[in-house]
Each structure stands twice: as structure tokens, then as C-alpha cells.
Structure 1
Amino acid sequence: MDELHHECGVAALYYLPQHGEKSSVWTGAPDQVSRLMPRMLLDLQNRGQLAAGMSTYNPDRDKLIDTYKDTGTVIEAFRINEPSKYASIMEDFAGRAAIGHTRYATCGGQTRAYAQPFERRHGCKWKWFAFAFNGQLTNFADLRNQLLQNHDYHLTRDNDTEVIMHYLAHEMRADDRPDLVEVFSRLGAKFDGAYNLTFLNAMGDMVVLRDPVGIRPLVYAQDGPLFGAASESVALQNLGFKRTSIKSLAPGELILIQNGELSVHRFAESKRTAHCFFEWIYFANVASTLDDRSVYLSRSRLGQELAKQELALGRVPLDPSETVVVPVPDTGKAAADAMAFALGIPSVEGLIRNRYIGRTFIEGGNRADKVKLKFTPLPEVLQGKKVLLVEDSIVRSTTLQSLLRHLREQGGVAEVHVRVACPPILTPCFYGIDMSTVKELFAPKFMSTKVPTVAEQDAMAKALGADSLFYLPVDAVARCIDLPTDRLCRACLTGDYPTAAGEQMYQLSLRNHATGGDSGRTYERPPEPLMCSVTDAGRT
């Protein structure tokens, strides 16, 4: 629905020729393995469309580490539609190891200067490194202020990626080559929030790391001498890694490649895992498997839960001749199909998404015009129908309101009933999803507790322009993902944040909302002593 944006996607590749085996994934020269990186990043495009880039390692060139990055989609950034330019980029930046990144900004600007990976050059090879980052440091403001106050640093970008770069550089300052496991152990003690990292230095050392809470997904695999890692399994599977070889990196663990050998180490204690439930419901590619749970099957179960709820409610006649299920493309489709099958009514593609509109073309303008550019209702299947419109989530609601008007005006629907395959979003996220204030959220304006009443959902439906609206209950999330609640981050549903700084940011956002000061992103504000208490739910 273009209302919710994710932080980023990361990827890594390394060819280890001393293993001596052949790889079925890559049969070319070892120092050309970086050519696979754009292909991987295309499969992570759903995680960020503002910029893309890669850093490569090649011991046979003067620039041992070299970085290419630009704004735009992967196709735009790497000039894939311009064969000669793309070939030149691949040749100039060829390497036996590479890290890559696709970016969406939850903080910082949208220029090339903020594109990743970030590279820090130095005459000493172990102090020369590049890294890419997926997530959000909730204690970013504290870390930034410590740098500025205690170390005489100057920051040229106002984001947590540059802060991480300076903390990494500080850890590399010794005259002796540092133990990278110890380096990241010390950083892990300082960082709070979601942070998956890929790191590559001019010694040829690589680190792939997942934060101790495991908020964002990270998977890896090895095929003979070829190692790969990515934010989602689909990026590895589509390269040719066998599905059975793809594993999730455990929270608090890192993979170290050094002197041609790969090893797995624990760098931080994992007191609590809290995988972001939104990865399964919304963000991840439907073909991915995260922490051994299929995204597609999870979304299908959400649809089955919606069907059970629909039968219990009995608000809409389930006559196949007059009622249809319509998904909001594309993330609502698996849930919609499963819901329709369980109810015995048709699931139809009543909304056709225009997949060929570029990101830049739809920027600016009003919300209604953007909806008309992105979605075309089909009156052939909608005219005069009662529509159960399946949406994956409602965050700010503005796009959905425009879409509902579009369905009535152009689709000719008789009724439109919104069914949300997610509970109400009540509190902000400080772990890499672009919703950091209470003010911007739709549901809290209507709810007095964490569980919406029928009357409150009817009021929301009226505000949206729908004939009715129902959310899934909170307890359905864990059932559908098939993970226990204590292994999921559901902070935006419950207000239970898995890290201390996340809880602090929530209280700050409540205070800002109460005083009318929540116009900016909460985690970009300077930390102050907080006196607010956490309320039950929406109204603050």
C-alpha cells in the first residue's frame, strides 16, 4: 500500500578457492564472483528502492577495497539496462568477495552520500574497511552524542550508519591487528536495537553479523567454495544455493571469514529473541523462508484466520454470486486466496497493479493521483459486488482511503468491507520500520484499549469510507507464523519493546504526542530524562 517502508537489505559473497571443490552456483573465475551481487540485490529490492551498492575485495588491484553505489533501484543504480555501462561496472569492481546493500531511509537523507556500503579508507589494511547495515539503532542519539562530546568527532551525515562507522574505526585504532570477534563483542555491548551487518576489510576478512535480539532476518549458505549471506533466503535460492543448505544465522552470532577459513562465533549473549512479525506479514518476499518459517504459509494461515472470523461475525452474505474476495496487491494475495477458499467464494484480482511505473514518476502529487497511477479496478469483476478487501495492515490509512474511493468510483462495487490480516498498529517502531511517532498511526485515534471493540472498528470503517472493517486479533500472529509469542517482536501491537532503548523511545514518543511535539522522527531527537508511564493503548 506504499504506506509502510522498511530500512534495508544486505548481502555478502565470498569465494574460498582453497576448499578445492567446485561450486554449482558459480563456475567462473574466483575474482569475478562479485558479478553475482546485483542479481542478489534484485531479490532484495522489496527491502529498499532508494539506493543500491556493493563493496568488493580484490588483492590484485591497487584499491584492495572499492565501492560502487548510486541512488535508485538496483537496475537504475547498476545501469543494468545499459549493457556497456553495466559491463564496465562489473569489470572495474570485480572481486573474490563482496558485500551489497539496498536502501530505504528511515533516517538520513536520500542522496548518494547516504547510500551504502560505507567505506573508510586507510593506509593500514585492517583499518581499511567497508560495511553495510540493516536495521535501526534505537540508542542512535546517545551514541552520536558520545562521539561528539568525548572524541572530538565530526559527523557529516545525520544517521546511525555513520555512527557505526566511527565506532568501528575507533575499535581498529590499535597498532596490532584486532580480533574481530572481540571488536564486535565490544560494539554489541554498546548498540541497542536492530543491526545486521556485513563487513569487509582490505585484509580480505569478512564478518556477517546478526544482532542479539534477531529482530531482522539473516540467512547464509555454502556451496563448495562459495559462501553467500542475505537478508532473505530467496536471494540465495535464486542464485542456485540448495534450499536445504540455507540456514538462519542465530541471534548474537557472527560468521567470520579470515585467512580463507569460515567459522561461526557468538559475539553477544542472546537473552531474548524477538523476530519482527512484520517480516512474515508484509516485508519479506513471499517466496522466502525466515527462521525456518515460510512467508507464504504464514500469510495463508492469516487468511484462514480471517475466514474463521468472517464466519463468526456473519456481517456479509457469503453468496458466491454476489460476494468476492479482492486482495490489495501484492502482499495481501496469499491471505486473500486462503480466506476465499475457506469461505467458498471467489478470490478475484479486482485491482490490477501497474508494475511499470517508476519510483520517481509517482513522487509528489496527491495521494489519490498516486493510487490511480498504481491501481486499476476491474469493473468486469467488481460491478455491483460486495467486496471483502484483504489488506495486510493499516498504518496511516491515507492511501487506503483513496483506494476505497477509487474502487467505488471506477470499480462500481456495491459494498466494500475491509479485512486486515494484522492486528491494529498502536505504537511506533524504532527498529527499522518508518513509523516512529504515535501521531502518524491510524488506529490509536479510535481505541481506548489494546483490543478494538466492534463499535471502534465501525468508527474506523466510517472514517475510511468502508462499509465495515475488522482486524485480526493479536494472538493470531504467533499462531500463523508458528512461533511462540516470546520469540516475536510485536511491540507495535502491544507496546512491549524487546530492548531498553526501544522502551525509552516509546515513552519519549508518548510525551511528544501528549505535548503536540511529535512532528519528526522520535529516534532522531536528543535523549532526555523521561517521566512518562506507558499507557494501556491508543489514546495518549
Structure 2
Amino acid sequence: MSDDIKHECGLAFIRLRKPFSYYQKKYGTVYYGLNKLYLLMEKQHNRGQDGAGIASVKLNTEPGYPFMHRERSNAQQPIPDLFEKVFAEAREVEKYQPGITRYPGLMKGNIRFLGELLLGHLRYGTQGKNNVELCHPFVRHHPIPACNLTLAGNFNLVNVRELFDFVNIRPEEWNAESDLAAMLEVIHHFMVQEEEKNPQEPDIVSALRQAAVMFDGGFHIGGLTGNGDAFVLRDANGIRPSYYYINEDVVVAASERAAIRTAFNVDEDEVQELMPGQGLIVRPDGDIRIEQILEPGERRACSFERIYFSRGNDQKIYRERLSLGYTLSETVLKAVDFDLKNTIFSFIPNTAEVAFYGLIKGLQDYLNQIKIQRILSWNKDFDEAKLEEMINRKVRMEKIAIKDVKMRTFIAEDNSRNEMVQHVYDITYGTVRPGIDSLVVIDDSIVRGTTLRQSIIKMLDRLGPKRIIIVSSAPQIRYPDCYGIDMSRMNDFVAFRAAIALLKERGKLYILNEAYGLCKELARTHTLDAQNVVRQIYKAFSVDELSAKVAQIITPPGTRAEVSLIYQSIENLHKSCPNNLGDWYFTGNYPTPGGNRVVNKAFMNFMEGKHTRGY
């Protein structure tokens, strides 16, 4: 998307099923697991720019020797930074103990991260500062090995304070809002109880069932315990994605199917989806189970994963993004009055490229039908030149915009910063016939509209098009997300600002006050999660009315071209992404009660002038 919003986090999990000597013999290295962990993390690098972390657990260590290790980084390139530290240590060991590589067991004892259980995480911060202390995994130590826990995941929870209260912990200021810290403490609480019941074989499944039912949000988490239990767990509605792969050598899990396929060179059907509420459990003895940890609810897998977050090299996601563009073609044709001769099509940013291909295919299908109809209407009244001219008609495509290397603005003064923002993208001159051509540019989604107003529209207008039509492959983003994406302030959404502007224009601001009064009453009765009050605000307007007002908002002063905006419909979104029907940011239909509480709280913050998160 052209707007900069926080991404999803990424998880990588590996459980080696053989001794290290096996991997040295079969693959020529005892670092097989670490090498694969690195690949899994790099192939999900789209899911984290704020930091990364890894953890390992060694099986069957002698008493008194460390068995759990963790390293984290918030360097500019955190993944290479992490693994450079890990392998620098390994090189140091090999340097001072020549020949140690011939003894895998000895290497395991001397190299910290040479463990059978490996956990990796890529972080996009959705709360707090991007301190290294907030990078996953987190660790909870305990004198009893089985009660040591390291945890990481991709999630947001909306009941963090309640979780800390349950375990009677007052967190430090730096992690008071940390979802992971709260989850860690609750799971650990039940792990300790299970260990007390059965010290010889504590029941990790029972601990997870008792803990997970308390988590209000979307989550995909991975955990390692000191006695060798390992697990991956997905929320009951399948909001956050989760995939796994098992063969005779390894058990693997990750946030994206394509990452596993690439790292292990396997086919699509070999990588399985962990279904809603399920846990992938690997016991210390290597026993593997898929357990139903939570009662599955209605599947509400995040559609934003398909539109934008996940990498497009997953074959299903690729087809879905093509469909998102294709289904827009009819609306776009109507918007340009079916005048393909004088219309140029392009995309911004690169993440919209696949949807762009789908849009072009839809336009080409239309054009091919026109060609057939015209040729048939000629009967036999045509010559070679006339036929050649008709056959060679094409949809006009150009690479209109190029994103420069990421520009960093060190200037604090607002006007100068705004000037710099205009130059994040650059244009290809000479592609548009000034005053003649219309320009259609597809974006995958529009959140704030800030980059469109401050940079993209100004840049496109310099080419002199008669019209600029911005097309979003996603519907209007109207509501906060609280299940992984850091979108929790109402005023951030350009669709919401458009609704407020229309209420002012039409003398209907009383609707805001009525909604605020209802929210206050719900808060007083502790039923803020009972309904989504903000829906009332949007009911006063059609999609087209809001789109027209958004177009006005994103059009900077002095723009010569006529600017309009086309959004994807909810119906075509569901048609294109039939297995990912989570659409609460578009419809306000939240899968958990906490979602209603968040949107109502975010609206109250807006009305009270508070620029804080809604959870």
C-alpha cells in the first residue's frame, strides 16, 4: 500500500527429529537446522522490519548445563546481524578446538544455538518503542527445566491488562502493554500447575487449553519449553495464518506457506494449514500430534493477508490478487467511458503489481470481445491493413512511477518535510499525452491517503493527464484492526474523515454525538463490546458518496487533473478470497467481542481528542 502502516509479524519454528550426526552425514553440515531457520526468516522478511530474534533449546543436556538460549537484534538488518553473531561464535569454537567439526555431539555442547528446537521471529512493533527488549522471543525462567518457556508469535490481544491481573502481576512500564509478556505469563502459570500435578510428564496440551481460552484476539504463536516440549498454536477463528510441514528429518511451521516451500523445496500440497484453534505439539520424545486446543469458531482468516501482507509468490495468493484486479475491470471501464485508446494504466506501489495484471487481463478480455464483434460486423468488407489495425489494438500500460531508494527525512520543520515526501516516488516523463490521456493507477489498499495527497497525486499531475483515477484493490478501510495490524485510531482512516466531512456538510453532526453518548453508556455498564456503534456513522452514506469525498480529501490544492477514486466491493473481495473472509476493517464485523470494544474506544478517543491507541 502507498501508506506506511505496520505489518504483520512472522514466525519460524523448527524441530529437528534426528541426531546432529545425521544431518552432518546427509547434508554435510551440523548447522542444517540453523541454515533452514535463516532461510525461513529471510523468506518472511516482508513481515518484519523493526527487529528479529531467535531461540534454541537443547534436548537431553546434563544437569547444570544451559539448555535454553536466546538472541535478539533491532539492528538495521536484524536477521543477518543475528546469524552473524551465531556463526561468529561457531567459528570461534572451531578455531580454538580444531577438528571439533568431526564430533557433532561435542559441537552441540560448545555452540549455544546448536539445539534441536529452534524458534525465530520477525517483528513489526504494534506497541511501545522498537527497543530490542520488545523483540520476540520472550523467555520465562524457572528452577524446574520443564517450566522454562520461550514464546514468540504474530498477534494482537485486546485484553492484556486482564491477563496480567489474572496472574497477579504488575508488569514493568516498558512491557505493560505487551501482548507477548501477558501471554507468556498466563501460559507459564498453567505450565507450573501442570508440572505440580505430574512432575514426570507435565501436560503441555492441558496448559495451553486453559491459557488460550483467555486470549481475546488473533494469534499464531510458537513456544519451546525447557524439557523439550514444543508447540505452535492458532487462534479459534484462524485470523492469523499458520502453516506447517513434516518429514522424516524435521517439523517446520511458519506464517507463510511459500516460505516453507522455498526453504525446503517442497510442493504446495506438502505444506499443511494449521486449522483454527489447533495446536501442533511435538513432545520431548519426538511424538507429533495435532490437537484441538480451542473450540473452532467461524473461520475469519484475515483478508489483508491475501490483499497485501503475505508475499505474492504463494500460488493461491497470486491467483487471488489477480482476481482482485480482474473484478475491478468492469467498474474501471465504465469510469473511463470505455475509452481505452486514450487511457493509460499503471500501478503504485510494487505490492499492487499482481492486482494490476489482473485488471489488465480483464480489460484485454473486454477489448478482445470488441475486436471479435467489430470484425464480424464487417462481413467480408475489410482489407489486410484494416484487419491488422484492429488486431493490434492493445490496452496501454506504462511504468508511470518509480519508488526511489527509501528516503529518510531528517528535517524536523513541517513544510520542509512535506516537500521531501513529494519525492519518495518519481515519474516516467513522456508517457502521457498532456490534456488527452486519462491515467488509471491501481493501489492495493488505501488507509490514510496521506501519501496519495502529499506525493502521488502531485507527481502524477506533473504528467498533465486529463483525469487521474486511483483504484484500490481493497474496499474502504473504515474500522480499526486489533488482531495484528497497528490500525487503531479512527482519524487515521481517510474513509472516516470523509464521513465526518459529509456529516458537517449536511448538518448531521448530531449523529456523532448520539454515537458518542451510546458509547459512554456502554462504557458505564461495562458492555462496550456489545455492539459496534461506529457503524451508525457510515449508514448515512453510500459507498460512492464516501469515495467521492475521499477523492476530494486526497486531491492537493492546485491539481489540474480531475481526480476520482474506485474501491473494491465487499462482494468481489469475498469472491476473490473465498477462504479468507475476515473483513472487519471494511465492514466492522469483528470476530471477537474485543473488536467491538476497540472500535468503540477508538471512537471515544477521537471524540475526546485523545491521540492514543484504542486498546
| TM-score, normalised via structure 2 length | 0.76
Matches within 5 A, 1:285-364: 285-288=311-314, 294-311=316-333, 313-316=334-337, 318-320=339-341, 322-344=342-364, 345-354=395-404, 356-357=405-406, 361=408
Q: Deviations over 1:77-126 (max 9, x none)?
A: 52668997496599542222201100011112211000111112233111
With over 3 angstroms needed to count, the CA separation of the structure-2 counterparts of 1:204 and 1:367, relative to structure 1, is farther
User: 1:273 and 2:299 equivalent?
Assistant: yes
Q: What is the distance in 2 between the residues matched to 1:503 and 1:137?
A: 13
User: 1:165 and 2:189 equivalent?
Assistant: no
The offset of 1:32, in angstroms, is 4.5
With over 3 angstroms needed to count, the CA separation of the structure-2 counterparts of 1:399 and 1:85, relative to structure 1, is farther
2:440 equivalent in structure 1: 388
Matches within 5 A, 1:253-272: 253-258=278-283, 259-272=285-298
**Aligned pair partner of 2:241 in 217, 241, 257:** 217
Q: Give the % identical residues.
A: 23
Which structure's residues are more often helix, by fraction? Answer: 2
Q: What is the distance in 1 between the residues matched to 2:113 and 2:57?
A: 8
Question: In the alignment, is the contact (CA less than 8 A) between 1:52 and 1:77 conserved in 2?
Answer: no
Q: What is the distance in 1 between the residues matched to 2:7 and 2:323?
A: 23
Q: What is the distance in 2 between the residues matched to 1:122 and 1:372?
A: 53
With over 3 angstroms needed to count, the CA separation of the structure-2 counterparts of 1:232 and 1:58, relative to structure 1, is same
User: 1:107 and 2:107 equivalent?
Assistant: no
Q: Deviations over 1:197-245 (max 9, x none)?
A: 1001121221011111110100001232211110001210111241221
1:528 equivalent in structure 2: none
1:522 equivalent in structure 2: 614
Q: What is the distance in 2 between the residues matched to 1:497 and 1:11?
A: 28
3-state SS in 2 of match to 1:239: helix
The offset of 1:58, in angstroms, is 2.3
User: 1:55 and 2:55 equivalent?
Assistant: yes
* Letter in structure 2 aligned against 1:417: I
Deviates more, 1:230-239 or 1:507-516: 507-516
1:526 equivalent in structure 2: none
3-state SS in 1 of match to 2:311: coil
Count of paired positions: 506
The offset of 1:349, in angstroms, is 2.1
* Letter in structure 2 aligned against 1:103: R
**Aligned pair partner of 1:495 in 577, 588, 602:** 588
1:457 equivalent in structure 2: 547
Q: What is the distance in 1 between the residues matched to 2:443 and 2:542?
A: 17
Q: Deviations over 1:138-177 (max 9, x none)?
A: 2123223444xx3566565131111112112212224325
With over 3 angstroms needed to count, the CA separation of the structure-2 counterparts of 1:76 and 1:268, relative to structure 1, is closer
Larger gyration radius, structure 1 or structure 2: 2
The offset of 1:337, in angstroms, is 1.6
| Structure 2 residues not aligned, in runs of 5+ | 94-110, 365-394, 500-536, 556-561
Question: In the alignment, is the contact (CA less than 8 A) between 1:427 and 1:491 conserved in 2?
Answer: yes
* Letter in structure 1 aligned against 2:11: V
Question: In the alignment, is the contact (CA less than 8 A) between 1:307 and 1:343 conserved in 2?
Answer: yes
Q: Deviations over 1:43-66 (max 9, x none)?
A: 111111000111012245833110
**Aligned pair partner of 2:478 in 420, 426, 448:** 426
User: 1:372 and 2:423 equivalent?
Assistant: yes
With over 3 angstroms needed to count, the CA separation of the structure-2 counterparts of 1:403 and 1:85, relative to structure 1, is farther
* Letter in structure 2 aligned against 1:515: E
Question: In the alignment, is the contact (CA less than 8 A) between 2:73 and 2:82 conserved in 1?
Answer: no
User: 1:66 and 2:83 equivalent?
Assistant: no
| TM-score, normalised via structure 1 length | 0.86
With over 3 angstroms needed to count, the CA separation of the structure-2 counterparts of 1:7 and 1:108, relative to structure 1, is farther
Q: Deviations over 1:400-439 (max 9, x none)?
A: 2123244236545443210111111111111111111212
Question: In the alignment, is the contact (CA less than 8 A) between 1:379 and 1:412 conserved in 2?
Answer: no
Q: What is the distance in 1 between the residues matched to 2:55 and 2:581?
A: 32
Q: What is the distance in 2 between the residues matched to 1:81 and 1:387?
A: 47
3-state SS in 2 of match to 1:280: helix
User: 1:513 and 2:531 equivalent?
Assistant: no
| Structure 1 residues not aligned, in runs of 5+ | 524-540
Question: In the alignment, is the contact (CA less than 8 A) between 1:281 and 1:422 conserved in 2?
Answer: yes
